[in-house]
Amino acid sequence: MCLGIVGRIEELKKDNMAVVEIMGVQREISVILVPEIKVGQYVMIHAGFAINPIDEKEAKETEELLQKVFGDDIVF
């Protein structure tokens, strides 16, 4: 099963990379598919790539759902 997660762009780096925060954890991802993205925006992430921007409300709802489904077993 493939699962997209949400993260907030914390820093844009060289070579279409960015640092995102995913439920309190920072990871580096590619933003090559969403070149218009800016720091502070939320994105849907799959397989290490930001695949589309989403609004904050949708991001929070998705985080809450993931927490309910997986609890503390989520690993990023």
List all residues 6 or more positions away from 37 whose beta carbon is below 8 Å from its beta carbon. Answer: 9, 12, 18, 31, 43, 50, 53
Q: What's the topology of domain 5-73?
A: SH3 type barrels. (2.30.30)
Q: Is 9 exposed, middle or buried (0-12, 13-18, 19+ CB in 10 A)?
A: buried
Mean pLDDT (whole number) for 3-13: 93
16-52 pLDDT tens trace: 999 999 988 999 999 999 999 999 999 999 999 999 9
pLDDT at 56 (0 to 100): 94
Would you say 16 and 32 are in contact if contact means Cβ atoms under 8 Å apart?
A: yes
pLDDT at 74 (0 to 100): 63
51-71 pLDDT tens trace: 999 999 999 998 888 888 877
Q: Could you give the count of Cα atoms lying within 13 Å of 65 in the half-sphere of its Cβ?
A: 10
For the whole model, what pTM was predicted?
Answer: 0.84
